[in-house]
Amino acid sequence: MSRGLKLRHPVAGTLAVAGYVIMIVPILFVVATAFTAGSTLRFPPEGLSLKWFGEALAYSPFMEAVVSSLELAVLATALALVLGVPVTLAIHRGRLPGKGLLEGLFLSPLVVPELVVGLALYQQLMIGLHLDNFTTLLLGHTALLLPYAVRVTGASLALADPALEEAARGLGASPLRAFVTVTLPMLRPGLISAGLLGFVTSFNNVPLSLLLQTRDFRTLPVTMLDYVQQSYDPMVAAASTLVLAATVVVAVVAERTVGFAKIFGGINR
Amino acid sequence: MTTPAAELVGVSQRFGSFTAVDSIDLRIPRGRLTTLLGPSGCGKTTTLRMLAGYATPTSGRILIDGQDATRTPPEKRDLGMVFQSYALFPHLTVADNVAYGLTMRKVPAPERRRRAAEALELVGLGHLGDRKPKQLSGGQQQRVALARAVAIRPRLLLLDEPLSNLDARLRVQMRAEIRRIQSETGLTVVLVTHDQDEALEMSDEMVLMRAGKVVQTGAPRDVFPAPADRFVAEFLGYENFLTLADGREAAVRPEHLCVVPADTPLDGQADGAVVLDAVVRDVAYRGVDVLVTCEATDPAGTTVRLVADHRADHTAAGAGPAPAAGDRVRLLAPTARLAPLTAEPATEGIS
């Protein structure tokens, strides 16, 4: 594809290739330095060893942060889907006025700067309402993931024939049974995609997590950022490489089970 | 007299300021095939959806088997609906699609399988139960939708433009197929269509609708030769309208107008026919026939544009070659073929 693109549109093709190079090459440097036997974060690595992976896995702040991040990502994703699916149904199947406004509202977290959201949540929820930082983070991340939940599940619902639910009703299904036996199976690819996207987005989020951190609850990216500010050794590279590996595994599983075209087809609509 | 399978009493459906269905009364006779016929936007689909329970009338009552069902939700009506898009569940096999209504009715598995198989057999797809809907052709999907609706032994079988997504040849085949299924099962069928040929061929009873109102009802053999008004006449393919000597308006089909040269003696041909002097304006050759467009003077003295379908075997007195543009001719319209129109002319709303 990139070959054809390059031949037919030389400028766009070159930009695309440059984009990939800029994104991927630095990552390769990080991965390479993670395998160093030396003790500085330098390229080329001084010798080959897995010792920094061992260090990273043994470093308790990282491990605690992984658990925190997973906890937060899983809960926020689940919450975003639970809230987002009814919204999607209302937008695509309901007969309510101002659908466009409603959809825009639920997509707005994509455009509002996260720092502003984080500061607002900090002021209002943590200071104002005295909520603990996990609850505040959970609410913030959920809001952040809502656009994916609404938009991506909406894409699979938009493709499904609205007469399907009517057919189910006509054949004797109550509204709830029609939802469970017909609508939900239609939504399945959208739910999986939105879930994956949401999970990755929450897991990787820095601005919100940075602003709403406390000593007791910190996500992995924030902990790593903190670590890099103090010590510049290859352990961070090893930790990053582990996160990268886990992400690749998730991506491969997603590709094998649902297919990327289906997953990301949802966002381009 | 038996209760009708369904009855609409003064039913209206308004969407904001738009009236889709305007206070209609309708009786759906039991065990027959009734078609709701009309151009798009005439309210026929809305009427069907109200019967099925997908729309609630703004006013009026709907009776099914003599019982009020106006506000009964669709799942409690026991009706089988075939959607224009078929609406087959893409994630279920054909057999599970057909069995869906039985599953919802908690029919035990062995009986469910047997009845689903029977329904598929009825539409001639007994061998495709394991496929997914996507793997079937449009015609086969249509049959599955039919089987799914029939499997629950519905009180009414409702078909919304069931043949509109099929190609022309298949459409004609399926007309006979739906009739066969109707007579084999004895079901009461209501079919919505905008195709007059389909309605004429399939109906026991036709209901012609226009702008949310019922304009004419009756058996095809009664409706076709006697359209109630100009709208129905145009919809049924009457292209010529003229005013008779007594002031009544009448419609006549192009194939019933006979073109003869102006200078030929009429002999006995004019007996029982209205004779009009005309000038040929346009001649279009179409293979089996020639379409002759004329400007004629009708018995009331007004100039009208008439189209005659000229075939060699039409003109009893020596057919002769088709006339050419500019020729002076006579048009013979047999009185028996003139359909007098009772209602006021209404030409708009034909799609």
Q: In this structure, what CATH number is given to the domain that contains residue A108?
A: 1.10.3720.10
Rounded-to-integer distance, Cα B336 and Cα B78, Å: 46
pLDDT for residue B205: 94
| Beta carbons of B91 and A170 less than 8 Å apart | no
| Nearest to B282, CA basis, from B321, B311, B325, B323 | B325
| Nearest to B274, CA basis, from B303, B297, B295 | B297
Identity of the highest mean pLDDT range in A86-100, A104-118, B288-302: B288-302
- Write out the residue range of the structural domain in which residue A252 sits: 61-265
| Beta carbons of B91 and A186 less than 8 Å apart | yes
Query: Which of A166, A171, A186 lies closest to B54 in CB terms?
Result: A166
3-state secondary structure of B43: coil
pLDDT for residue A55: 80
Query: Which of B52, B85, B105 lies closest to A170 in CB terms?
Result: B52
Query: Which of A164, A172, A181 lies closest to B75 in CB terms?
Result: A172
What backbone phi and psi angles, to 5 degrees, belong to B257? -95, 130
Q: Greatest CA separation found in chain B?
A: 80
Query: Which of B89, B91, B152 lies closest to A172 in CB terms?
Result: B152
Residues contacting A159, CB < 8 A, separation 6+ = none
Rounded-to-integer distance, Cα A83 and Cα A145, Å: 10
What backbone phi and psi angles, to 5 degrees, belong to B293? -100, 125
pLDDT for residue A267: 43
pLDDT for residue B346: 43
| Beta carbons of A168 and B100 less than 8 Å apart | yes
Which chain A residue lies closest to B84 (C-alpha atoms)?
Answer: A163
Amino acid at A122: Y
Rounded-to-integer distance, Cα B200 and Cα B127, Å: 33
Rounded-to-integer distance, Cα B243 and Cα A266, Å: 62
Average pLDDT over every residue of B269-296 = 85
Average pLDDT over every residue of B12-38 = 92
pLDDT for residue A264: 57
Q: Where are the domains of chain B?
A: 6-231, 241-341
A158: in domain: yes
pLDDT for residue B343: 54
A38: in domain: no
| Beta carbons of B85 and A163 less than 8 Å apart | yes
* pLDDT higher than 70, residue A269: no
Residue B106, number of CB atoms within 10 A of its CB? 8
Residues of chain A by 3-state class (helix, strand, coil), percent to 5 = 80, 0, 20
Residue with tokens 């983070």: A137
Amino acid at A110: L
Rounded-to-integer distance, Cα B349 and Cα B346, Å: 8
A134: in domain: yes
| Nearest to A92, CA basis, from A36, A150, A47, A137 | A150
A213: in domain: yes
Length of chain B: 351
As for how many domains chain A has, the answer is: 1
C-alpha torsion angle, residues B309, B315, B320, B324 (rounded to 10):
-30
Average pLDDT over every residue of A187-212 = 85
Residue A97, number of CB atoms within 10 A of its CB? 7
Which chain A residue lies closest to B49 (C-alpha atoms)?
Answer: A166
Structure tokens at B90: 């893409």
* C-beta of residue B71 within 8 angstroms of C-beta of residue B63: no
Structure tokens at B326: 């500019």
B318-339 pLDDT tens trace: 356 778 888 888 888 888 888 8
* pLDDT higher than 70, residue A93: yes
B71-89 pLDDT tens trace: 999 999 999 999 999 999 9
pLDDT band at B348 (very low <50, low <70, confident <90, very high): very low
Sign of CA dihedral A61, A62, A63, A68: positive
| Beta carbons of B105 and A161 less than 8 Å apart | no
Average pLDDT, chain A: 83
Rounded-to-integer distance, Cα A61 and Cα B325, Å: 98
| Percent of chain B's residues with pLDDT above 90 | 56
Burial of A262 (0-12, 13-18, 19+ CB in 10 A): middle
Average pLDDT over every residue of A170-195 = 89
Rounded-to-integer distance, Cα B113 and Cα B200, Å: 37
| Whole-Å CA distances, B105 to A135, A176, A201 | 45, 15, 44
End-to-end CA separation in angstroms for chain A: 21
CATH superfamily of B241-341: Nucleic acid-binding proteins (2.40.50.140)
| Beta carbons of B100 and A186 less than 8 Å apart | no
pLDDT for residue A30: 85
pLDDT for residue B143: 93
Average pLDDT over every residue of B30-35 = 94
What is the second-level CATH architecture of the domain B6-231?
3-Layer(aba) Sandwich (3.40)
What backbone phi and psi angles, to 5 degrees, belong to B303? -85, 125
Which chain B residue lies closest to A177 (C-alpha atoms)?
Answer: B104
| Beta carbons of B101 and A171 less than 8 Å apart | yes
Residue B9, number of CB atoms within 10 A of its CB? 16
pLDDT for residue A225: 86
